[in-house]
Amino acid sequence: MEIQYYESAADRNKYFCVMKTDDNFTPAHFHNSMEIVLVTGGLERVVINGVERILHPGDIAVCNSFDVHYYESLERAQSTVIILSEDYTARYRELFEGELESFLPRGEYTEQFMALFETLYNNMNENRLIVSGYVDVILGMLRKAYPGYVRASRASGNRLSDILAYLEENFDADLSLKSVSSHFGYSVNYFSALFNRFTGMHFRDYVNRLRIARADMLIESGCKVGEALARCGFDSPNSYYRAKKRWSAQIP
């Protein structure tokens, strides 16, 4: 049960990934890389920076740099996901003169996108020139197909990514809704509502999931259970098992 928050792997130099997903459930995470999701079957719930949409086959979601996003399959969702690191998208961002909106509905070019994504997926292990060529075609087609869906580029990062990074760095500390909201200058009620809207989960659940993932990694590496739990902020084995039971019950 691995949970990614700041997905550092996606920001490696020359990182490129194309994958197909079935019944995808991906908790809230963010990265500098661009992520494009094309739904090919079923219904998928996508939340980007707190804005929620139910995507049907042919709909596209675009996660720009440091957008906080998560996915949940509603009806046997199938999708193709492309993740492109900065070195792939730097020229694109310059030529594009902005960023694509987060949600792009199906339209007259939908069938072409279906074919292009499939072609890229089938050629993902080719040499870099071939892969880059297919990526350029897809990015260029997005610009052509959605000329009215462009917004000005935002400064890299946002407040939620700062908060998630802070939690990842301090997951073993005595984190509470009150202490973290105060650290970032928010009232408790406002911070709680903001966090829930962007991540789709309550603050306590999010922190516990982060701690569980880290504790499980330590245990799997051979660390004694008691030591692993203490290092990850659990005050007792019972609190760990209660949190893990609650987490397991929430996973679709």
Whether 97 and 176 share a structural domain: no
Whether 24 and 136 share a structural domain: yes
Q: Write down the pTM of the prediction.
A: 0.74
Distance between CA atoms of 124 and 15, rounded to whole angstroms? Answer: 12
Confidence class for position 248, pLDDT limits 50, 70, 90: low
- For residue 1, being part of any structural domain is answered with no
- Please state, rounded to an integer, the average pLDDT across all residues of the chain: 86
Whether 206 and 141 share a structural domain: no
Distance between CA atoms of 3 and 232, rounded to whole angstroms? Answer: 14
- For residue 13, being part of any structural domain is answered with yes
What is the domain extent for residue 114?
A: 8-151
Q: Which of these, 124, 203, 164, 193, lies nearest to 31 by C-alpha position?
A: 164
Q: What is the CATH number of the domain that holds 192?
A: 1.10.10.60
Of the candidate ranges 48-57, 111-120, 133-142, 239-248, the one whose mean pLDDT is the lowest: 239-248
Whether 110 and 206 share a structural domain: no
Whether 127 and 240 share a structural domain: no
Q: How many domains does the chain have?
A: 2
- For residue 87, being part of any structural domain is answered with yes
Whether 163 and 147 share a structural domain: no
Sign of the four-CA dihedral 5, 132, 59, 80: negative
Which residues on adjacent β-strands are paired with residue 63? 35
- Provide the terminal-to-terminal Cα distance of the chain, rounded to the nearest Å: 13
Whether 147 and 204 share a structural domain: no
Q: Which residue, of 83, 117, 151, is where some domain finishes? A: 151
Q: How many CB atoms lie within 10 A of CB 95?
A: 11
Q: Which residue, of 124, 151, 178, is where some domain finishes? A: 151
pLDDT in tens, 150-195: 887 665 446 777 888 889 888 888 899 999 999 999 999 999 998 8
Whether 33 and 117 share a structural domain: yes
